[in-house]
Amino acid sequence: MSIEQKQKQIEATLRLAPVVPVVIIHDARAAVPMARALVAGGVPAIEVTLRTPAALDAIRAIAEEVEGAMVGVGTVLSAKDLRAAHKAGARFAVSPGVSPGLLDAADDSDLPLLPGVATAGEAMTLLERGYHHLKFFPAVPAGGHKLLGAWASPLPQIRFCPTGGISLTNAQDFLTLPNVLCVGGSWLTPADKLESGDWAGIERLAREAAALRGA
């Protein structure tokens, strides 16, 4: 699959909802009811981060059992991570930054990658390699919506999914920018709700996030 085809898949994924939940999951048994709650709330693209031993099992369970979910993998740092996530059933991959090895592995993989950048120079480097859709991370510490908005004019070819420090209270600052397709955030799946099995609460948070579209 060409980089152009994979970037089109990334764009389609980012346009599914205004927010991509960034999930840190410690118990894979929670993955399916959590994902069903997110999908029911109107947020079908789900990024499960490789920050816990349960992550790959969670991705596999969501991919196999949750209709309507577009499950992806986050915190991809290496070619090994990319291969394991693809094998588990991930539909897209997200990295906090990039390395030559990871980009080479992404070129050889059919798993679409959303690579992370924090500077205009990094964005330009990825643009040269055919990436037009990028993650801006860590969004708030790196300069927030004002910095990202300033990139819209000199880098009009690029669309972003900012992640890092974003919540319901500041998401709209990013979503109103012309170069932002969606935001990523962990507030939709807080640890206390995952641990207690409060799937109705997660669905409510997803509905609040989905309502940001077009606001």
Cβ pair 98, 115 in contact under 8 A: yes
Q: Which residue has the tokens 């929670």?
A: 30
With a CB cutoff of 8 Å and minimum separation 6, the contacts of 133 are: 7, 10, 11, 14, 114, 158, 159, 160, 161, 181
The DSSP H or E segment spanning 55 is helix 55-65
Domains in the chain: boundaries:
3-208
Q: Which residue has the tokens 């980089």?
A: 3
Q: Which of the residues are catalytic? A: 47, 135
Q: What does pTM read for this prediction? A: 0.96
Q: Which residue has the tokens 């031993």?
A: 53
CB neighbour class for 180 (10 Å; exposed up to 12, middle 13-18, buried from 19): buried
Q: pLDDT truncated to tens, each residue of the chain (215 aa)? A: 999 999 999 999 999 999 999 999 999 999 999 999 999 999 999 999 999 999 999 999 999 999 999 999 999 999 999 999 999 999 999 999 999 999 999 999 999 999 999 999 999 999 999 999 999 999 999 999 999 999 999 999 999 999 999 999 999 999 999 999 999 999 999 999 999 999 999 999 999 999 996 54
Q: What is the pLDDT of residue 215?
A: 41
With a CB cutoff of 8 Å and minimum separation 6, the contacts of 51 are: 24, 75
For residue 193, the number of C-alpha atoms closer than 13 Å in the C-beta half-sphere is 22
Instruction: Compute the radius of gyration of the chain from its Cα atoms.
Output: 16
With a CB cutoff of 8 Å and minimum separation 6, the contacts of 170 are: 140, 145
Architecture label for domain 3-208: Alpha-Beta Barrel (3.20)
Give the span between the Cα atoms of 32 and 47, in whole angstroms. 13
Peptide bond into 138 cis (omega under 30): yes
